[in-house]
Amino acid sequence: MAMEEIRRGEMLYEGKAKQLYTCNLPDCYVMFYKDDATAFDGKKKAKISGKGALNNAISAIFFEMLQQAGVPTHHVRKLSENESLVRKVDLFPLEVIVRNLVAGSMAKRLGLQEGTPLRHPTVEFDYKSDPLGDPLVTEEQVAVLGWATEEEVDEMRRLALRVNDVLSADLLRRNVLLVDFKLEFGKDTDGQIVVADEISPDTCRFWDVQTHAKLDKDRFRRDMGGVEEAYQEMLHRLGGVLA
């Protein structure tokens, strides 16, 4: 179906950074990326002009890169500057965190310096709950609480590490370190587990290889300034343009 034939319907959900709408395709939604910036489970808020369009463009590039590598995602295509067409999925109530270097909450939790190398990538699972601060949970807890089966957890872990392999290698060629990132997974209408939500500077830590300059949401979290410029730089390094 041609892009101009996609008609956005009612809003089903509004999160901190995106809105989800029905559309005239029965198995798809329209995802709208907002300019809202939040941190610390919504406690810190601001609007950053152009952020939604940048995240939409960057996410589309990453999803298409993953699909070419055989990783299933919910992404169908980018529709407009702030909108993308995505397949319907039933999300797991989990965030899957892949870490290549120590940073963020891991550094605070373990009292380690940011940038400390890890012997190999690690995978963590958080329970999605803003009121609880998205607490870290074990894979056993995920299974016994019925959030996902052991087999589903294994598949999310496998896919998360595959995403890491694909994106890390590509970004390194662009002089960017993929420090860590958050993924969400869901089941599509065929029951297949796919990567969903977004992959952007809002959900990843990107550092310049030489300077370790931050090209991600940490610039907002830590009041460093230059948030939009950092997101623009990431899009530039990925060879993308706003449309």
DSSP string, 69-81: TT--BSEEEE-SS
Domain segments of the chain: what residues? 3-88, 91-226
The first and second tokens of residue 113, run together, are 């310096």
Per-residue pLDDT of the chain (243 residues; tens, 9 = 90+): 444 589 999 999 999 999 999 999 999 999 999 998 887 766 678 889 899 999 999 999 999 999 999 999 999 999 999 999 999 999 999 999 999 999 999 999 999 999 999 999 999 999 999 899 999 999 999 999 999 999 999 999 999 999 999 999 999 999 999 999 999 999 999 999 999 999 999 999 999 999 999 999 999 999 999 999 999 999 999 998 776
- In CATH, the architecture of 91-226 is 2-Layer Sandwich (3.30)
The first and second tokens of residue 172, run together, are 């390194």
Q: How far apart are CA 70 and CA 174, in angstroms?
A: 21
pTM: 0.94
Homologous superfamily of 3-88 = Phosphorylase Kinase; domain 1 (3.30.200.20)
